[in-house]
Amino acid sequence: MQHLDKQHQYFSFAYQTGSDIWSHIPYRFKAEEMFPKLESDSLILDIGAGRGLWAMNLLRHNYRVLGIDYVESIVNNVNNKINEEGYGGKARFIVGNALSIPFTDGGFDAATDIGTFQHIKKQDWKTYVKEIHRVLKSNRYYLNVSLSRRTHSFLGFKPSQSHTGDFEKFGVHYYFCTEQEIDETFNTHFNIIEQQYKSFESKTDPMDDLVLVFTLMQKK
């Protein structure tokens, strides 16, 4: 519990001060390339919406978005921003935990998680998978973008040399997944349609090389 509180505090602080290590990573292009083309006004759930950068892309593609994040200040900021940008009628963000998604069953055409699953503890992965499966309509899509075990060096971690992929810094849990782990974790409830990797240079440390794994899945 204390661990989760520290992580929660980190996100709250990082997203208020702009010091988070995620927002500047240009994951958007690969994610957009892999995201399926859906009908206008399709309803997308964005899990761990953060600053709402990815949600904003979805809105530009004419989708409707409901986002959750477990930090209230992050949710308030992103709602203000979305209203300022004129998307208030098409998007709303609420406080909610990915492990107990505050929406009814079968309501979404797709769900996206850009950088949140990697912060969820392994013991909670099953609950997480079931929750996403529950809120999606039949045969609909889920895009996951996560830290990859192919990363050689990031934040002082050496994931490619590690057997577990499990790291912690300042009370925040970071998990670097292998493709096999993603398959084994999700294949009870999803079929994997496509998986790709992309590496990104770090703006803060030239020795770092970050690899992200992009996985598009379909509800079984």
Ligand X SMILES: C[S@@+](CC[C@H](N)C(=O)[O-])C[C@H]1O[C@@H](n2cnc3c(N)ncnc32)[C@H](O)[C@@H]1O
Q: Which residues bind ligand X (CB under 6 A)?
A: 11, 15, 22-23, 48-51, 53-54, 68-71, 74, 97-99, 114-116, 119-120
What does the block give as tokens for 120? 């969820």
Residue of minimal Cβ distance to ligand X: 50
Tell me which residue has tokens 């990031």: 154
Closest CB to ligand X among 128 and 220?
A: 128
Q: Nearest distance from residue 191's CB to ligand X, in Å? A: 24
Q: Nearest distance from residue 58's CB to ligand X, in Å? A: 11
Q: Nearest distance from residue 46's CB to ligand X, in Å? A: 7
Closest CB to ligand X among 114 and 217?
A: 114
Q: Which of 148, 139, 54, 137 lies closest to 93 in space, CA to CA?
A: 54
Closest CB to ligand X among 18 and 163?
A: 18
Closest CB to ligand X among 108 and 191?
A: 108
Q: Which of 192, 26, 185 lies closest to 121 in space, CA to CA?
A: 185
Strands (E), the chain: 43-47, 64-69, 91-95, 108-114, 136-147, 166-169, 172-175, 190-201, 209-219
Q: Nearest distance from residue 86's CB to ligand X, in Å? A: 20
Distance of alpha carbon 132 from alpha carbon 115, whole angstroms: 15
